[in-house]
Amino acid sequence: MAVSYKDLGLVNTKELFAKAVAGGYAIPAYNFNNLEQLQAILQACVETKSPVILQVSAGARKYANATLLRNMAKGATEYVKELGYDIPVVLHLDHGDTFELCKECIDSGFSSVMIDGSHHSYEENIALTKKVVEYAHAHGVSVEGELGVLAGVEDDVVAEKSTYTRPEEVEDFVKRTGVDSLAISIGTSHGAHKFTPAQCTTNAEGKLVPPPLKFEILEEIEKRIPGFPIVLHGSSSVPQEEVDTINKYGGALKAAVGIPEEQLRKAAKSAVCKINIDSDGRLAMTAAVRKVFVESPGEFDPRKFLGPARDALKKLYMHKNINVLGSANKA
């Protein structure tokens, strides 16, 4: 039996994106796989009064169970009220790759889905995206499409190199598919190793500085589809303090370089109204867990290491909402 997202207290992205584009900020899209991640995301967004998009990947559904995740999302809308501020919550399928997967999520209460047909030919991408849009819109669900390919690894999504979005295609794609938002490729990528040291320069502090995002592509897209909601995937900044902590406490995370936060802030002031962040959260939690294991090697209560991991994630996401995305006090 199909479940409507409205029955779970969720919202779709339509009004949220319109407000974000007009207001010059981006809504955080944070992936979650377990309870501690969900707690941290919701606590951070309630305390900063930010709307939030809870993202579930195909890998997360396999790991945590689709039914459990759906009920966690239902509990999320009740939890934010208990925390004292009723922020808008979206439940979004990240990188859906088939019509069947998108339909299953829509029928189980998701309020937004992404259909990623970027690995298909242009015409096949349009056909698949349009099919998902028609079914989703009949249920009031928002749809995100994608043009261009991001390099890197994220769960089941793997690509060796990026293909930048072609601005001359966006008008036709949006018109023919009817999508509500469009993920584009302008230099971001999945994972913690977005750039090699050879691709970066070194600043006065000895830190690696990656090449800038292709803002000229973004600007051209904005000219062609003015005011249309744009999405950036693969937008973790890979905080070096988290990388350093991981390596200090036994990790081997070398040459991990992300997107500078000032570039993401610039993007958030444009038509980019949704920014996906996952790897940064993984780094923060891993750093906190490793620290506990080294400093308290006799500890075996999961709450004693997952609790600090949750707190580190909450702190990171509050920072993102306030200083990077500009979504604080927008709920």
Return mean pLDDT, the chain: 91
Whose CA is closest to 188, among 115, 60, 278?
Answer: 278
Identity of the amino acid at 104: E
Q: Under CATH, what is the fold of the domain 5-325?
A: TIM Barrel (3.20.20)
Q: Which residues pair with 277 in a beta bridge?
A: 30
pLDDT tens sequence across 207-263: 777 788 899 999 999 999 999 999 999 888 999 899 999 999 999 988 778 898 999
Query: pTM for this structure?
Result: 0.93
Beta carbons within 10 angstroms of residue 28's beta carbon:
28
pLDDT tens sequence across 270-312: 999 999 999 999 999 999 999 999 999 999 999 999 999 999 9
SS3 187: coil
pLDDT value of position 152? 44
Question: Quick check: 151 pLDDT over 60?
Answer: no
Catalytic residue selected from 7, 86, 94, 301:
94
* Paired tokens of 54: 């809870």
The rounded Cα 164 to chain-centroid distance in angstroms is 19
Q: Is 94 a catalytic residue?
A: yes
pLDDT tens sequence across 179-220: 999 999 998 775 666 677 777 788 887 777 778 889 999 999
Question: What are the boundaries of each domain within the chain?
Answer: 5-325
